[in-house]
Amino acid sequence: MDSPVVLLSGCVGFGEEYTRVAGFSNRDVGAICLKGTTLAPRLGNPAHRVYETTAGMLNSIGLQNPGAKHVVERILPALDFSETRFIANLSGSSVQEYAAVTELFDDSPIDAMEINISCPNVHQGGMIFGNDPHMCARVVEACRAKTRKPLIVKLSPNQTDIAESARRVIEAGADGLAVVNTFMGMAIDIDNRRPVIGQNTAGLSGPAIKPMALLKVHQVYQVARHHQVPIIGQGGIVSGTDALEFIIAGASAVGVGTALFYEPLVCKSINAQIDQYLTEAGLNSVSELTGTLELNAPPVALLKEVAQ
Question: Where are the chain's structural domains?
Answer: 5-307
pTM above 0.75, yes or no: yes
pLDDT tens profile 219-244: 999 999 999 999 999 999 999 999 99
The residue type at 63:
L
pLDDT tens profile 145-160: 999 999 999 999 999 8
Q: How confident is the model at residue 16 (pLDDT cuts 50, 70, 90)?
A: confident
Q: In the prediction, which pLDDT does 121 show?
A: 64
Answer yes or no: is pLDDT of 122 > 60: no
Task: Find, among 60, 57, 54, the residue nearest to 197 by Cα.
Answer: 60
Fold that domain 5-307 belongs to in CATH: TIM Barrel (3.20.20)
pLDDT tens profile 44-59: 999 999 999 999 999 9
pLDDT tens profile 208-223: 999 999 999 999 999 9
Q: In the prediction, which pLDDT does 303 show?
A: 62
CA dist list (Å): 86 to 43, 253, 273: 24, 14, 24
Q: In the prediction, which pLDDT does 20 show?
A: 84
Answer yes or no: is pLDDT of 125 > 70: no
Answer yes or no: is pLDDT of 126 > 60: no
Q: Which residues touch 226 (CB under 8 Å, ≥6 apart)? A: none
Helix 266-281 with 240-249: angle, nearest 10 deg: 60
| Cα distance between residue 34 and residue 37, in whole Å | 8
Q: In the prediction, which pLDDT does 297 show?
A: 82
H/E segment holding residue 205: strand 202-205
Q: How confident is the model at residue 124 (pLDDT cuts 50, 70, 90)?
A: low
H/E segment holding residue 94: none
Answer yes or no: is pLDDT of 14 > 60: yes
In this structure, how many other beta carbons lie within 10 angstroms of the beta carbon of residue 127? 13
Answer yes or no: is pLDDT of 167 > 90: yes
Higher pLDDT, 121 or 145: 145
Q: In the prediction, which pLDDT does 120 show?
A: 65
Task: Find, among 131, 155, 169, the residue nearest to 233 by Cα.
Answer: 155
Residue 20 in 3-state DSSP?
A: helix
Q: In the prediction, which pLDDT does 18 show?
A: 82
| Cα distance between residue 112 and residue 94, in whole Å | 21
Are the C-beta atoms of 60 and 119 separated by less than 8 Å?
A: no
Paired sense of beta strands 253-256 and 231-234, if any:
parallel
Largest CA distance in the chain: 70
Range in 72-76, 113-117, 127-131, 270-274 with the lowest mean pLDDT: 127-131
| % of residues, the chain, pLDDT over 70 | 95
In the predicted model, what is the mean pLDDT of the chain? 94
Catalytic residues: 119
| Cα distance between residue 225 and residue 152, in whole Å | 15
Answer yes or no: is pLDDT of 4 > 80: yes
Q: In the prediction, which pLDDT does 274 show?
A: 98
Are the C-beta atoms of 91 and 63 separated by less than 8 Å?
A: yes
| Cα distance between residue 236 and residue 217, in whole Å | 13
